[in-house]
Amino acid sequence: MNTLLVIGMAMAAGLLVSRAARAVKLPNVTAFLVAGLIIGPSVGGLINKEQAASMRVISDAALGFIAYAIGGEFKLSYLKKIGKAPITITVFQGLATAVCVDAGLLLLGLAFPSLGITVPMALLLGAIALATAPAATLMVVRQYKAHGPVTQMLLPVVAMDDALGLMVYSISASVAEGMLGGEMTVQSMVVTPLIDIFGSIALGAALGAVLAFGARFFASRGNKLALSIAMVLAGVGLCSMWNLSSLLVCMMIGAVMVNMSQQREVLMEQCDRFTPPLFLLFFVLSGADLDLSVLPQVGLIGVLYLALRFMGKWGGTMLGAVCVHADDNIKKYLGLTLLPQAGVAIGMASLVAARFPTLGAQINTIVLAGVLVFELIGPIITKLALTKAGEIAP
């Protein structure tokens, strides 16, 4: 099949399954993932691995627009209102997840030496467990028009999670490399990730300023939309060239634009009209990438990894919310909305496979199994949590 036929088939499958999913009240994002799974190589085989992989540019673009939409929520008046609470909760949930996975896996290794769990393996899995997928979360929030304290706290926490994950992964990977006979340096542990983070923020701010300033010179909504698309795609492309975080860059484009431009409502509205088919295609293709064959291979380590990540996200979020005296619903439900995991985790697992050949295969299998489980059930749990919090109308 040619590329256009694959795209058409993927979109049609997503629409059909999402229509059927309404009967059981599943979120659209879960329906799209299931549609991709059905037509992908793991089940139906209508799309093979090579065809799914060839659509990577669509996934990159969709993630850029998802991050841009999240950044568009960061108005200064809103950030002043919520204060430092999102930063505190982000740090608590992230570090708690990493520590929980590290400690739990090491205890399992002591109890069952035959499993071969080492400290480097535990450190790397703990760092990868921290990563959260913003795409599925944003889709659920938008589909059900969720609104309230939990939703308002959720978006900035998900946004900052990427930066924290980059820092924790860099430190954990350097420590693991040192334990395996490599060299631990301040450059690789601290300086490089900080350069990546601040470089991403600077690039995103520059592109956001260009978008806010340039929108003044275009009268038609179509041209304004074209300018928005140009800035987001330019950000994603430059990140690929300079090894920066496209999520951070595109979030900053949205955040700077929404605070600098008097035409922010038009720019965001036009983008919201353009992106739904792109997001549909992104999730269907993500579902096609899911590999059911990894599930039987994960064993006890994989099952414990799933449980420990859940405990770390939920417990760490609750602890952070208690420290900042957050709303009771934030304490109870915010952690449950942070379970989806996808592209960032897979990217980290790929880096591990390249940097640690002896550990890469096992870690990659565990992470892929985790992505499969959390990406499918995460949106459902997010919907249930926001409903329980009273932020999704019956």
What span, in angstroms and rounded, lies between the C-alpha atoms of 66 and 207?
Answer: 16
pLDDT for the residue 1: 67
**Element counts in the chain: helices (H) and strands (E):** 19, 0
What span, in angstroms and rounded, lies between the C-alpha atoms of 284 and 290?
Answer: 10
Burial class (CB in 10 A: 0-12, 13-18, 19+), 142: middle
pLDDT for the residue 140: 87
pLDDT for the residue 246: 82
The CA-atom distances, in angstroms, between 288 and each of 34, 344, 351 are: 8, 17, 22
Rg of the Cα atoms in the chain:
20
pLDDT for the residue 182: 65
What span, in angstroms and rounded, lies between the C-alpha atoms of 65 and 254?
Answer: 9
Distance separating the N- and C-terminal Cα atoms of the chain: 42
Q: What is the mean pLDDT of each run of 10 residues along the chain (394 residues)?
A: 86 90 82 88 83 82 86 79 85 92 90 83 88 82 88 85 80 81 68 82 94 90 92 93 85 91 87 87 84 76 90 92 89 89 75 77 81 85 90 83
pLDDT for the residue 99: 92
If one looks up domain 66-262+301-388 in CATH, what number appears?
A: 1.20.1530.20
CB neighbourhood size of 216 (10 A): 11
pLDDT for the residue 206: 95
- Domain ranges in the chain? 66-262+301-388
Burial per residue of 40-66, b for 16 or more beta-carbon CB atoms within 10 angstroms, e otherwise: bbbeeebbeeebbeebeebbbbbbbbb
pLDDT for the residue 207: 95
